[in-house]
Structure 1
Amino acid sequence: MAMEFDGGLTCGLGVSDLGKAISWYEDVLGFALLYRMDDIAWAELSTSVDKVNLGLSQVEEVKQGGGVTPTFGVKNIEAAQAELDARGIKQDGAIQTIPEMVRLLTFFDPDGNTLMFYEDLSGSS
């Protein structure tokens, strides 16, 4: 049995307030609301990556640690960091560099969900 994937991906995150989370992801990362279903406390937003969406699920308690860290590629990580700085977005230290491979910046949404930006240094993109 071989699985046939269609190329789509939805990353789901738990949030404490669906409306506030939607606004944050729209305002800070420029994602666009695809739909919101209040009866099941779920919303889905499109990202700038083709067929990659972010699902938000309102939960009673947002669990910290472990799980998936959505990591989005940017063309200029310093510019992305400056935008986060201007908005007062909490970050986990400085930009990390793995020479000739990648630069990484970890930051957090208002519920403490971990997100990352990466800038490819390999020349393969």
Structure 2
Amino acid sequence: MVGLNYDGGLTLAMSATSLDRTIAWYESVLGFTLLYRMNDIAWCEMQSPVARVNIGFSEVEAVTPGGGAVPTWGVSDIEAAKAALAAQNVRMDGDIMVIPDMVKLLTFFDPDGNALMFYQDMAAA
């Protein structure tokens, strides 16, 4: 839309039942970095390995998984990414789904059951 002047940044907002657990998981499993934490409002923001793409987490009593947007991160080798997740006992939703000549997809879950995905672009290969 004309006149919106996007700045190239993207922050996703998600729920978590424990900021401590969420921060540790996203750091150790996905390589994110904590940008800041505001305990008085039960919020933190983490930087992803993708330039200017962050996730903010709001601590809540219960997370209702399902529905909403699913953050989908591009990787260059989805089989290696799956092996890295498996090595950390990350719950996955089945095997890698392949759409021939287009994309490979892998759905997995954070500790609160929020769905995340990796994709590998096969069109560029």
Q: Corresponding residue for 1:84? A: 85
Q: Corresponding residue for 2:119? A: 118
TM value normalised by structure 1: 0.96
Tell me, in whole angstroms, the C-alpha distance in 2 between the residues paired with 1:99 and 1:80.
Answer: 19
Q: Corresponding residue for 1:46? A: 47
Report the number of matched residues.
Answer: 124
- Return 5+ residue gaps in structure 1 as ranges: none
- Alpha-carbon distance, 1:4 to partner: 1.2
- Alpha-carbon distance, 1:56 to partner: 0.9
Q: Corresponding residue for 2:62? A: 61
Runs of 4+ that moved beyond 2 A: none
Tell me, in whole angstroms, the C-alpha distance in 1 between the residues paired with 2:84 and 2:22.
Answer: 18
TM value normalised by structure 2: 0.96
Q: Among all aligned residue pairs of Structure 1 and Structure 2, give the percentage whose two residues are the same amino acid.
A: 55
1:4-83 pair list within 5 angstroms: 4-83=5-84
- Alpha-carbon distance, 1:2 to partner: 2.3
- Return 5+ residue gaps in structure 2 as ranges: none
- Alpha-carbon distance, 1:63 to partner: 1.6
